[in-house]
Every structure is written in C-alpha cells, then in structure tokens.
Amino acid sequence: MRRNRRSVRKSTRKRRKSARGSQKKDNFNLKKYIVLNQKEVNLLYDMTKKTIAILDKANIDYWATDGTLLGIIRSKGFIPWDDDVDIAIDTKDKQKLRSLKDDFKQKELDLVGVGKYMKVKTHKTKNVWIDVFILTNGAWPQGHFKHLKFKPEELYPLKKGSFGKLKLNIPNKSEQYLNRIFKDWKKVAYIYNHHTKGKKKISFKDYPELKKPTLPTN
C-alpha cells in the first residue's frame, strides 16, 4: 500500500511538471520577436552571397561577427529573431572597401558609410541590410562594442563556417571567443525584441527548436 501511495505521488509530480512545461512553452511566442519575413531572409542571404564574392575578389579579409557568427557556430544559419548580417574587416582595408561602391552597384547594392562603420543596402526594401564593422587589431572603434574585442590568437588565420548554403569566413577560434564573450551561448538564447528594445532569456533545454536557423527557400 505504501508503494502505491508513493507511485501515485510520483505520477502526480510528473503530471505537474509536464503541465508546468506545457504552460511555459505556451507563454513564449517566438513570432513576436521575428523581424524579417521569409522573403526578406531570402534577400539577405542573396545580398550576403554577392557581398562576400565582391570582398573575396578584392582580396579583403572579412569575417562573420556578432549575431551572424553566433548563428553560424550554433545553428549554421541565420538566427530567426535577428535582423541583419554582421561582418567585419580590418581598418587597413577600409579605403579599398570604399573604392568598391561601383562593384556593389553592379550587383544592385549600395555601399554606404554610417558613422564608424558601413552598410550594404538594397533598393528592394529598407528592412534588410548588412553591417560592415571596421576594426583595428580586433577592436571596435565604437565604445559600446569594446567588450567584443577579439584577441589576436582568436581571430587569425580565418576559417570557413556554414551560413545556410554559403561559406563565410569566421575567426580561427570562434568557440573560444564566444565562450569568453557570450559565456552561456550554448545553453541560452537571448532574444532581442527590436520593437520594445527588451531582451528575453530562453533556455534551449525548454525550447530546443530555437537552435534551428531560418534558411533561404530559394
């Protein structure tokens, strides 16, 4: 009889735990945090393909950084709640990059300066762009990015990582860098709401589907 009561209590705890898990899942709606629709994501992948082709032809070393690097290492693609692609170059290639504006125009893209960095834009929509950060010895000139500095041994030599069907340059020791900068990136997603400017911390244990990237459909 004692065993039966124990079994009932155990079963009850399991049901409660399951109910809590279901309730937790129902309370989080990723759609509220999605910025780009599928058509815009397709366009962003295409813009990225054209951009890295131009940079490679000009022998400009670039690498994925920030959310794009995180997406490549963790998901092999675009993070569903992200809103752009982030790449970086060294300051020694800044003028060479600026000289490529006509090359971008031939691909129906605009290369424009925005303060201390540059953007690749398209006339097709204002919602999609690529940020091109210009670093000096792995460090951002923007003060609020100082904590993201790459150590020399983390950055070179550059490697390749999968971004959907594309192969992008990534830092030599990307995981070491991410472990230092984003510490719990393997366990937790920090989902940024671009509308409210708020962040939500979600465990991959509760929502493993968040590790899936948004891939192009064309």
Domains in the chain: boundaries: 36-211
The chain-wide mean pLDDT, for the chain, equals: 89
CATH 3.30.460 assigned to domain 36-211? The reply is yes
In the block, tokens 């393997």 appear at 186
Q: What tens digit of pLDDT does each residue of 11-28 get? A: 555 555 544 444 455 577
- Nearest Cα to Cα of residue 80 among 114, 129, 146, 33: 33
Answer yes or no: is pLDDT of 1 > 50. no
How far apart (Å, rounded) are the C-alpha atoms in residues 136 and 117? 12
Bridge-partner residues for 147, per DSSP? none
Q: What tens digit of pLDDT does each residue of 131-146 get? A: 999 999 999 999 889 9
Q: What tens digit of pLDDT does each residue of 68-97 get? A: 999 999 999 999 999 999 999 999 999 999
Are 113 and 100 contacting, i.e. CB atoms less than 8 angstroms apart?
A: no
Are 139 and 149 contacting, i.e. CB atoms less than 8 angstroms apart?
A: yes
In the block, tokens 């000289």 appear at 99
Residue of 184 and 17 predicted with greater confidence? 184
Q: pTM for this structure?
A: 0.85
In the block, tokens 């813009």 appear at 47
